[in-house]
Amino acid sequence: MIKVILVEDHLVVRNGIKLLLDSSGEIEIISEARDGSELMSLLSDGLQPDVILSDINMPLMDGLEVTTYLSEKYPNIKVILLSMLNTVDQVIDAFGRGAKGYLVKNVGYNELIFAVKHVASGGRYVCDELTMLMLNILSSTSSSAILKKEVDMELDLSEREIEVLQLISEGYTNMEIADKLFLSKRTVEGHRQSLITKVKVKNSAELIKFAVQHHMVN
């Protein structure tokens, strides 16, 4: 039997999750807490769960703070975080603090049970919704990088020209670019004109527009 402490400040949500986990027949809710502070008291009293299933947004001590504390003081206890948000940055932060699982609160019954069992057995888990979101972001980023490389090769841009293009897109003047790249103003002007010629546009404004549209600048 997998022993779990459920940490959630909303009673209705807590009762709903407890009902789902209890119905599995393989998971036992050994205690509940409304926030991280209550959880610390339970652990200090000697409770030894296998997994802590905790909401992220709680008063006094939130789920991320709980994760950091547990990874330092109770490294054998595995933490799964629950959130209303499906933001990748928060997922990365959570796992960086030592979390072993991350679920959004609309996760289905089967996935919830699987996540708890998988994490309890030593694995890590991110719910399907977030996995697809991260894959889409990765795919989009990779596609942009490939497109940028292809455009750079087609136009035969030098590394220096790419650096100058990036700074032009950020609004720097020729003099400021010269200072940043340790070049003369005349050299920068030459690179700017070369870029305009290669891209086949009329001026710097159109150059920037082209660069953004073709993912040539960050």
- CATH number 3.40.50.2300 given to 2-127: yes
- Sketch the domain layout of the chain as residue ranges: 2-127, 145-213
Residue 62 vs residues 9, 34, 36, 66, 217: alpha-carbon distances, Å: 10, 10, 6, 6, 38
Would you state the pLDDT for residue 3? 96
Element (H, E) at 78: strand 78-83
pLDDT at 157: 75
Is 76 within 8 Å of 122 (Cβ atoms)? no
User: In the CATH hierarchy, which top-level class contains the domain 145-213?
Assistant: mainly alpha
Q: State the DSSP string of 2-63.
A: EEEEEE-S-HHHHHHHHHHHHTTSSEEEEEEESSHHHHHHHHHTT---SEEEEESS-SSS-H
What pLDDT tens digit does each residue of the chain (218 aa) get?
999 999 998 888 899 999 999 899 899 999 999 988 899 999 999 999 999 999 998 887 888 899 999 999 999 999 999 988 667 778 888 889 999 999 988 888 999 999 999 999 999 888 877 676 666 655 555 545 544 554 444 567 778 888 888 888 888 888 989 988 898 889 989 988 888 888 888 888 778 877 777 667 66
Q: Quick one: DSSP state of residue 80?
A: E
| Dihedral of the alpha carbons of 18, 104, 85, 125, in degrees to the nearest 10 | 120
